[in-house]
Structure 1
Amino acid sequence: MSPTRKQWAARVRPWLPPIAVALAAGLAAVGGSYLSVGRRPAFVVTPIDRFVITHSPDALVTVAITVLGPLGHRLAFLTAIALTCAVLGLAALPGVAILLDGPPVVGAISRPGSVSTAVGVLVGTALPAAVAFGLTGSPASSAGAAAGAGLVALVTVGIGLLAEGDAAVDSFGRRRVLGAVGAAIGSSALGLFVRGTGTTSFPPPFDIPEDARPAVQTLLERANDRSLAVEGLEPLVSTNFYQVDIGNVDPAVDREEWTLSITGAVAEAAEYDFADLETMAIEDRFVTLRCVGDQLNGRQLDTALWSGVPVRKLLEAAGPEGNYVVLHGADGYYNEFPLEALWPGLLAYRMNGRSLPRAHGAPVRALVPGHWGEINVKWLTEIEVREEETMGYWEHRGWHGTGPVHTVAKLWQTNHLGSGRFEVAGHAYAGTRGIGAVEVSTDGGDTWDDAELSEPLPGDDVWRQWRYEYGAAGSHEVIVRARDADGTLQIPETDGPKPDGATGWVSETVDPR
């Protein structure tokens, strides 16, 4: 005869407090690991995050990119954190069951204050630490996980001792569970307080460092001067550069240990360290990047002043003998595209006059002019030349963002000037083709006028700002479109980002009220 619902409940109920305390121990272990190492590769969540992203179905990844945008990455990270808490909590469960005088199979050998209590603390601490070390190989991370789980175990024991003799609190009492949860939340909050969110802020681009080279100072000042004076519109050098990566924890590459290898179908393989690059002539370039997953009027389009070494210098020395190249990053990311696109590229190690931030690929990243952001590999470690075409990371997931970017005009700002006057503005980008004009319609596409454009910045792969002022009496539809420098019109047909970038004209209904 199968067990009834009441019988199942009777069997499960004794395990609920140990499971709750074990999950609290798992959360505390995650918090302890974060407190020890921060949001770095040694953080215990990192390998779980990589697993979640790698094994997520392609359809789910597409929804996360095209619908959720940055929120999709955050949800993936929260999922990884929850799974890590569960894994470490499961590891802590045997020790917790002993501490809580768990179900009869273990409860018979346990009493608060007995030797088994010490055993429970040891087991509930050591097993999560062992799992953390197995996941990360980091003694510091595993020690932090042990400290977090150990704190929950000790709080559980302490509350049990204080409650001993209180008829209102049995061995499965709520006080132990609440104390364990409180300790877990407290340790995690301490980690966030000490380490922050793990995302580092980068100084404003026009806050030029005093030690910046004169050429950099001049270029940044020129970008500031040429930015249109439109309230609410980002200047020509981005103040908040977008970030898209395959994982939620950036690699932490030591520039003193970093090397770049040139391998594959080359006449002479080579390896460079950071000091080698610093001995080469440095070049400064304004370069715009756009993510292939960027929505039509999305915000994954930004510009910075990058400084580094032209790739051509290294390729010429290696003597490529193939027509394709694969760039590899320290995060396991890779992408393949025609070698000819890489020749005019830049190996950037500075950004807006400062050392390249970790979030943007430190110590060195690739910049490939006029192509979608996915081939501008960060944390670059290898340039592999191949004779035959292969598939890159995102191509395996149905994307094809290895080609030149589409022309786009973004409508990012609408200002009500009063007395029936309006100002619309944004940025326009066409890769190395350059922007020749931005056209605006305020009557739903019946008529078009040229918008004012910002003066071009130096460089072949840079966006421009645009603004247009007009008068209108009622609600109306504003449409914007761009033309390349050669006069070719932006693609009018609307299509989503997948597989090779969004197309269409941006429109917005403006209400005078």
Structure 2
Amino acid sequence: MDKRVQVFALAGISGVAGSYALAGYTRQFIVAPIDAVVVRSTPGPIVAWMITNVGDAGHLLHIALSMAIAGVLLGTTAVLGQFVGAKLDRWFLAPGVAGVLAWALTVAITTEPVLSLGAALPVALFTVIGAGSLSTADHDPSRRRALGSIQSAIGFVVVAGGAGWIKTNSDTETADEEPASDPPSPVTRRLEEANTQSLDLAADNVPGLVSSIGEFYNVDIAEFDPEIADDDWSMGLTGEVETEFSVTFEELTDRPTEHRYVTLRCVGESLNGRKLDTAVWTGTPIKPLLEEADPEGDCDCAMLRAEDGYFVQFPVEALEDAFLAWEMNGRPLPKSHGHPVRVLVPGHWGETNVKWLTEIELLDEAMDGYWEQRGWHGTGPVNTVAKLWDDTRLDDGRIEVAGHAYAGTRGIERVEVSTDGGASWTDATLSAPLPGEDVWRQWSHVYEPTGDHEVVVRAIDGEGDRQPRDQSDSFPSGATGWVSKEISA
């Protein structure tokens, strides 16, 4: 291998690994800001295609690309260091120049001078093996030395990877339900209520009426979540208002508190996907804050902005029943779900329920939000869906099919099941409705199978409208259609 190529590769890889060792998988990792640029620069049609056709694996591709870019940038500093050393015929300058360039580059990307040493030092170290290579062959390493350098780099990457993993997981969030209290807290009572009203299913793959925090689906525009301490958080109400002001976390949590069941569904999921979950959220209504801001004139839109650069526009009237949440299932809102505060807007797709909320700007005319700029259809209400998540053969030979149904604030009135491909229909058994206007319901149906057959499910919402039969992909308005499955007798 050409020595310059070798130095370029080893310095780039080890520099990325060194940054990971000190920063962990956080926004201070050199890859994180690059990934944010990659995500925001990707054209909307490509994003839509990736979501529809690649799904969750898509984030691995943009992370891999971002790591490659970081490696190329750091590897280039090593080559430049080599070049300067050779040009001046001072080979010993090469690692110092490379290290300084790598440090300056990483600081420019991450704004973290100390943590940037994690990338700079290994770049300088692995530049040493190629010092002076552009001017003389006397310093060319032997094959054995080259192999030793590669082995050293591999060893360093392994050690750095372990250190980065420890750094990343040392502050792992506790993601479970609220512990029992005496007397039971409002959240504990809600969790118990949901557990009591869940159907007694044979299925193992159908969650209860409240999802655990660790199992609750999670989708963000970028891979690396913001980290905001409670004391550092504030939210501004700005724009077309009589009085602009901000509220701190302490001031927000001193307001009247509610505990709501709220279901969220991902607009980008497949028709029978599993990005649909429910939690008990603790927070306060947003309407009093809007009234305090006193919107001016014909102001009928609001732009909600987040710490990670995400933004969503809503009609102001849609926010009148919205909710600012700071707890989830009795725990402080996890970082991955928007700590310290997120918004929940009843009946709207999960993507519009902004995490890490920092500003509500009142507008006098509508503007496109983040996903609207990429071709998705804004903040419309969620589509009605009945999910068929499990089929279980019982001991007596019958089959139980089960899942969840959701229609946003319209609620679920019935779920119908066909075991003959849609020729005939039977009402499924439904869980009792939980309190709240934006909550899913479980359904199940047990029947005697007669040969191979197709099971189809459809929901009827609280307004009497049946789930549309025609199927469509998630882009641009969310997946629609009846869910079906072929089952062998």
TM-score normalised by structure 2 residue count = 0.92
Whole-angstrom distance in 1 between the partners of 2:419 and 2:199: 21
| Cα 1:166/1:133, change in 2 over 3 Å | closer
- Letter of the aligned partner of 2:432 in structure 1? E
Deviates more, 1:293-302 or 1:37-46: 37-46
| 1:374 and 2:374 correspond | no
CA contact (8 A) 1:372 1:401 kept: no
User: Hey, what does 1:85 align to over in structure 2?
Assistant: 71
How many angstroms does 1:404 deviate by? Answer: 0.7
Whole-angstrom distance in 2 between the partners of 1:198 and 1:80: 24
**Unaligned ranges ≥5, structure 2:** none
User: Hey, what does 1:142 align to over in structure 2?
Assistant: 116
Q: Secondary structure at the residue paired with 2:409?
A: helix
User: Hey, what does 1:7 align to over in structure 2?
Assistant: none
User: Hey, what does 1:4 align to over in structure 2?
Assistant: none
For these two proteins, the number of residue pairs brought into alignment is: 479
| 1:300 and 2:275 correspond | yes
CA contact (8 A) 2:82 2:130 kept: no
| Cα 1:384/1:147, change in 2 over 3 Å | same
| Cα 1:433/1:472, change in 2 over 3 Å | same
| 1:121 and 2:95 correspond | yes
Whole-angstrom distance in 2 between the partners of 1:269 and 1:18: 57
Q: Secondary structure at the residue paired with 2:458?
A: strand
- Letter of the aligned partner of 1:456 in structure 2? P
Whole-angstrom distance in 2 between the partners of 1:329 and 1:58: 20
- Letter of the aligned partner of 2:176 in structure 1? P
| 1:208 and 2:179 correspond | yes
User: Hey, what does 1:413 align to over in structure 2?
Assistant: 390
Q: How does 1:21-40 map to 2 (within 5 A)?
A: 21-40=7-26
User: Hey, what does 1:236 align to over in structure 2?
Assistant: 209
Q: Secondary structure at the residue paired with 2:420?
A: coil
How many angstroms does 1:359 deviate by? Answer: 0.4
Deviates more, 1:440-449 or 1:35-44: 35-44
Q: How does 1:255-294 map to 2 (within 5 A)?
A: 255-294=230-269
| Cα 1:93/1:346, change in 2 over 3 Å | same
- Letter of the aligned partner of 2:167 in structure 1? R
CA contact (8 A) 1:21 1:181 kept: no
CA contact (8 A) 1:331 1:379 kept: yes
CA contact (8 A) 2:339 2:355 kept: yes
How many angstroms does 1:157 deviate by? Answer: 8.4
| 1:357 and 2:329 correspond | no
User: Hey, what does 2:106 align to over in structure 1?
Assistant: 132
Whole-angstrom distance in 2 between the partners of 1:275 and 1:193: 33
Whole-angstrom distance in 1 between the partners of 2:465 and 2:168: 47
User: Hey, what does 1:482 align to over in structure 2?
Assistant: 459
How many angstroms does 1:35 deviate by? Answer: 2.1
Q: Secondary structure at the residue paired with 2:417?
A: strand
Whole-angstrom distance in 1 between the partners of 2:139 and 2:70: 35
**Among 89, 96, 101, the residue aligned to 1:109:** 89
How many angstroms does 1:198 deviate by? Answer: 9.3
User: Hey, what does 1:387 align to over in structure 2?
Assistant: 364
Q: Secondary structure at the residue paired with 2:79?
A: helix
Whole-angstrom distance in 2 between the partners of 1:201 and 1:473: 48
- Letter of the aligned partner of 2:425 in structure 1? W
Deviates more, 1:83-92 or 1:191-200: 191-200
| Cα 1:253/1:236, change in 2 over 3 Å | same
| Cα 1:338/1:435, change in 2 over 3 Å | same
| 1:94 and 2:80 correspond | yes
Q: Secondary structure at the residue paired with 2:114?
A: helix
Whole-angstrom distance in 2 between the partners of 1:264 and 1:371: 24
- Letter of the aligned partner of 1:491 in structure 2? P
CA contact (8 A) 1:28 1:149 kept: yes
CA contact (8 A) 1:151 1:183 kept: no
**Among 197, 222, 241, the residue aligned to 1:226:** 197
- Letter of the aligned partner of 2:96 in structure 1? L
How many angstroms does 1:177 deviate by? Answer: 4.1
Q: How does 1:459-474 map to 2 (within 5 A)?
A: 459-474=436-451
How many angstroms does 1:109 deviate by? Answer: 3.2
Deviations 1:470-490 (A, max 9, x none): 111321101000011222101
Whole-angstrom distance in 2 between the partners of 1:81 and 1:478: 45
- Letter of the aligned partner of 1:343 in structure 2? E
- Letter of the aligned partner of 1:509 in structure 2? E
**Among 369, 394, 401, the residue aligned to 1:424:** 401
How many angstroms does 1:354 deviate by? Answer: 0.6
Whole-angstrom distance in 2 between the partners of 1:464 and 1:17: 63
Deviates more, 1:427-436 or 1:213-222: 213-222
Whole-angstrom distance in 2 between the partners of 1:388 and 1:35: 47
Q: How does 1:245-260 map to 2 (within 5 A)?
A: 245-260=220-235
How many angstroms does 1:151 deviate by? Answer: 4.6
Deviations 1:352-382 (A, max 9, x none): 1010011011110010000111221110000
| Cα 1:96/1:476, change in 2 over 3 Å | farther
**Among 69, 73, 77, the residue aligned to 2:55:** 69
Q: Secondary structure at the residue paired with 1:120?
A: helix
- Letter of the aligned partner of 1:296 in structure 2? L
- Letter of the aligned partner of 2:162 in structure 1? L
Q: Secondary structure at the residue paired with 1:403?
A: coil
User: Hey, what does 1:335 align to over in structure 2?
Assistant: 312
**Unaligned ranges ≥5, structure 1:** 1-12, 100-104, 111-115
CA contact (8 A) 1:25 1:184 kept: no
User: Hey, what does 2:163 align to over in structure 1?
Assistant: 191
Q: Secondary structure at the residue paired with 1:139?
A: coil
Whole-angstrom distance in 1 between the partners of 2:232 and 2:184: 26
| Cα 1:57/1:157, change in 2 over 3 Å | closer
Whole-angstrom distance in 1 between the partners of 2:70 and 2:470: 44
Whole-angstrom distance in 2 between the partners of 1:487 and 1:170: 79
Q: Secondary structure at the residue paired with 2:359?
A: strand
TM-score normalised by structure 1 residue count = 0.87
CA contact (8 A) 1:27 1:184 kept: no
Whole-angstrom distance in 1 between the partners of 2:112 and 2:482: 50
Deviations 1:95-114 (A, max 9, x none): 35689xxxxx55x936xxxx
CA contact (8 A) 1:212 1:353 kept: no
Deviations 1:271-326 (A, max 9, x none): 11111012111111010011111211111111111101110110111112310110
CA contact (8 A) 2:256 2:284 kept: yes
Q: Secondary structure at the residue paired with 1:426?
A: strand
| Cα 1:496/1:383, change in 2 over 3 Å | same
- Letter of the aligned partner of 1:121 in structure 2? P
- Letter of the aligned partner of 1:345 in structure 2? A
**Among 179, 200, 220, the residue aligned to 2:151:** 179
- Letter of the aligned partner of 1:109 in structure 2? D
Deviations 1:19-75 (A, max 9, x none): 233222222222222222222222211111011111112222112111111111122
